[in-house]
Amino acid sequence: MQMLMQTLVTGLAVGGIYALMAVGYSLIFSILNFSNFAYGGIIMLGSYMGFYSLTLLKVPFAAALIISMLGAALLSFLNERIAYSSLRKRHAPSLYFMISAMGTSIFLENMVYATIGSDYNAYPAIFKQSSVSIFGSTIGKLDLFAIIFSLIAIYIMNYFIQHTRTGIAIRAASYDSEVSQINGVNLSAVIGLVFVLAGLLAGVSGVFLGMKYMAYPTMGWITNKAYISAVIGGLGSLPGAVTGGLILGVLESLVSVYVSSLLRDVFSFTFLIVLLLVMPSGLFGKYLEEKV
């Protein structure tokens, strides 16, 4: 019982990180309908920005978080303008977007390799290595903070999208970009904004990943888990991304402890395939006919 509780808590802590990454990724999918594989690269750079703000500029933690959020937002915006906007204007198939995104991701990752190097950069200790006990299970304070912070960030994001004028424009564009444009939505501005929002989330994710683990060039690998989370939850759905992340985190934890830590990726993958066969658009995905 004790062990089950601890496993669930650990699973939720890991899942919280997946969820935070999956939200930004899913947000972009919701409006452009393609998998932005470059998102992992943006998170990685966000993490580096946080690292250098803390170690070179020696700013306080809050300032480092803001710097990396703004930096990642700018990168995300540039990413859209350089790699996707002309494809969007040409109505290119989503395959082209994916390839362009993959190119960006390869570019960013290897750029860091070539310029900064492949060292593992540990964040300075911000929160003392301490943990709290909940129902007899231990959870790191940082994890708790990460989960609470990501829930707040996701809540704000959701409120913004559901209840503000700009949010309505975003939603309108995500359903039908052509019609919304006719109705006076400045599509280019809305898409730019979505990438900025996703970038802000990438900055937060990057700093958390950095604190939890470290900053290094191939850390974008962990975003594979975020992609899978988003697909489980249904691409394009923000609550889906959160649920998908938590489900994946808990599933991995349970399989590791009760079945085999070696085979957990096989379980996650099988789960993904079976889920997609039963629910082709994930748990909360809106079913969209693919654009040609």
Partner 1 sequence: MMTKKTKKALATLLIGLLALSLAACGTSSSSTTAPAGTTAAENKEPIKIGHEVALTGGSSLWGQSEKQALEMEIEKINAAGGVLGRPLELVAYDNKADQTEGVNVAKRLVGDKVVAIIGPAQSGVGIAASSVTEGAKTILIGTTATNPKLTVNEDGSVKPYTFRTCFIDPYQGKVAATFALNSLKVTKAAVLMDVGSDYSQGLSQYFKETFTAGGGTIVADEAFRSEELDYRAQLGKIKDAGAELLFIPTMQKEAGLAMKQAKDLGLDVKFLGGDGWASKELVELGGEATEGSFYVNIASLEDPTIADWVKEYKAKYNANPVMPNPVLAVDALRMVVNAIESTKSTDSTTLANYMSTMKDVPVLTGKLTMDPKTHNPVNKPAVIETVKNGEFTFFEAFAGQ
Partner 2 sequence: MSYYVQGILILAMYNAIAVVGLSIFTGFTGLMSLGHAAFIAIGAYTAAICTKLYGISFIPALLLGGLMAGLVSLVIGIPTLRAKLRSDYFTIATLGFGEAIRVLLENLPITQGARGLPGLYPHTTFPVVLTVFVIVVFVCKNFVFSRYGRMAIAVREDFVAAEMAGINLFNIRLRSLFFSAVCAGIAGGFQAHYLTYIQPSMFTGVQSTLLTASVVAGGMGSLTGPIIAALVFAAIPEVLRVASMWRLVAYGAILVAIMVFRPQGIFGYKEFTFKGAWHALKHLYEKLSGKKAAGQGGTKA
**Spatial distance between the Cα atoms of 99 and 192, rounded to a whole number of angstroms:** 20
Under 8 Å between Cβ of 194 and 27: yes
Comparison of 133 and 165: residue with beta carbon closer to partner 1 = 133
**Spatial distance between the Cα atoms of 27 and 68, rounded to a whole number of angstroms:** 19
Is residue 68 a contact residue for partner 2 (CB under 8 A)?
Answer: no
Is residue 117 a contact residue for partner 1 (CB under 8 A)?
Answer: yes
165: partner contacted, choices partner 1, partner 2, none (Cβ within 5-8 A by kind): none
Is residue 14 a contact residue for partner 1 (CB under 8 A)?
Answer: yes
Question: Of the listed pieces 27-35, 119-127, 156-164, 193-201, which binds partner 2 according to CB under 8 A?
Answer: 27-35
Comparison of 74 and 168: residue with beta carbon closer to partner 2 = 74
- The answer for residues whose C-beta is within 8 angstroms of residue 100's C-beta and 6 or more apart is 83, 84, 87
Lookup: tokens for 142: 């940082």
**Spatial distance between the Cα atoms of 216 and 214, rounded to a whole number of angstroms:** 6
106: partner contacted, choices partner 1, partner 2, none (Cβ within 5-8 A by kind): partner 2
Q: Angle 120-121-124 (CA atoms, 0-180°, nearest 5)?
A: 145
Could you say which of 66, 257, 279, 283 contacts partner 1 (CB under 8 A)? 257
Residues in region 183-222 near partner 1 by CB under 8 A: 212-214, 216, 218-219, 221-222
**Spatial distance between the Cα atoms of 277 and 262, rounded to a whole number of angstroms:** 25
Beta strands in the chain (DSSP E): 131-134, 137-140
Q: How far is the CB of 149 from partner 2 (least distance, A)?
A: 27
Is residue 79 a contact residue for partner 1 (CB under 8 A)?
Answer: no
Is residue 110 a contact residue for partner 2 (CB under 8 A)?
Answer: yes
Question: Would you say how long the chain is, in residues?
Answer: 292
**Spatial distance between the Cα atoms of 105 and 39, rounded to a whole number of angstroms:** 7
Could you say which of 68, 104, 177, 205 contacts partner 2 (CB under 8 A)? 104
Comparison of 184 and 290: residue with beta carbon closer to partner 2 = 290
- Cβ-based neighbour number of residue 136 at 10 Å: 10
Sites of contact with partner 2 (CB under 8 A): 29, 33-35, 82-83, 86-87, 92-100, 102-111, 113-114, 221, 224, 227-228, 231, 235, 262-263, 265-266, 268-270, 272-273, 276-277, 280-282, 288, 290, 292
